């Protein structure tokens, strides 16, 4: 029995049919998207990141994030998720801006790491105070261990007091 959008949404047989129609109507576009996706995969196995070089680590992580975002964009586009494609494009653009910042500023890796640590400390404080729910496996956590204590991330990572445009959700 065939399922419709009202039964299973985008997992329905009707949506699968629409998916095939979209790929047919925009065949050339999806050809270019696929070809563009193949290029970074040729070089991905050759990527060597020195584990102690923060700039290389952040660059590698951002490139991997851009690639998965790009693949998500392709899947969303072929299924007709227009607004989600735009949101995914925004995420990919954020990666581009962060990579550009990383190239221009030598301390960017430290600033990004400090921002991440600052957000982690905020979450831990909220967990300790009860303002943020804690998973049952962490219910008996000792909030006074060195990993849970507040510290000055900017000073710890050798950065200065500048703000970094890194949203806490995507860190």
* pLDDT tens for each residue of 145-170: 666 654 555 455 554 554 444 444 44
Determine what percent of the chain falls in helix, strand and coil, rounding each to the nearest 5. Answer: 70, 0, 30
Cα 17 to Cα 5, 8, 22, 28, 83: the distances in Å are: 11, 13, 9, 19, 20
The reply to whether 98 and 148 lie within a common domain is: no
Residue 124 counted as domain residue: yes
| Separation of alpha carbons 117 and 106, rounded Å | 19
Residue 4 counted as domain residue: no
Question: How many structural domains does the chain have?
Answer: 2
Name the residue range of residue 143's domain: 106-171
Is residue 104 scored above 80 in pLDDT? Answer: yes
Residue 5 counted as domain residue: no
Which of 5-9, 95-99, 153-157, 161-165 ranks highest by mean pLDDT? Answer: 95-99
The reply to whether 91 and 164 lie within a common domain is: no
Residue 157 counted as domain residue: yes
In this predicted structure, what is the pLDDT of residue 166? 42
Which of 104, 127, 146 is at the close of a domain?
104
Average pLDDT over the chain, rounded to an integer: 79
Is residue 143 scored above 70 in pLDDT? Answer: no
The reply to whether 47 and 79 lie within a common domain is: yes
The reply to whether 25 and 38 lie within a common domain is: yes
The reply to whether 25 and 81 lie within a common domain is: yes
| Separation of alpha carbons 32 and 54, rounded Å | 33
Residue 3 counted as domain residue: no
Q: Which of 3-12, 45-54, 90-99, 107-116 has the lowest mean pLDDT?
A: 45-54
């Amino acid at each position: 029995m065939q399922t419709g959008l009202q039964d299973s949404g985008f997992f329905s047989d009707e949506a699968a049919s629409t998916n095939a129609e979209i790929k047919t109507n925009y065949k050339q576009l999806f050809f270019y998207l696929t070809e563009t996706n193949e290029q970074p995969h040729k070089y991905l196995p050759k990527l060597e990141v020195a584990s102690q070089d923060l700039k290389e680590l952040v660059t590698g992580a951002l490139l991997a994030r851009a690639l998965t975002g790009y693949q998500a964009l392709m899947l969303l586009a072929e299924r007709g998720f227009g607004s989600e494609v735009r949101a995914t494009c925004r995420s990919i653009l954020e990666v581009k801006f962060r990579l550009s910042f990383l190239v221009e500023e030598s301390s960017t890796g430290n600033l990004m790491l400090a921002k991440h640590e600052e957000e982690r400390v905020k979450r831990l404080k909220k967990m300790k105070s009860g303002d943020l729910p804690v998973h049952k496996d962490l219910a008996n956590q000792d909030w006074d261990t060195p990993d849970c204590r507040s510290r000055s991330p900017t000073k710890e990572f050798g950065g200065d007091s500048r703000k970094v445009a890194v949203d806490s959700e995507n860190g």
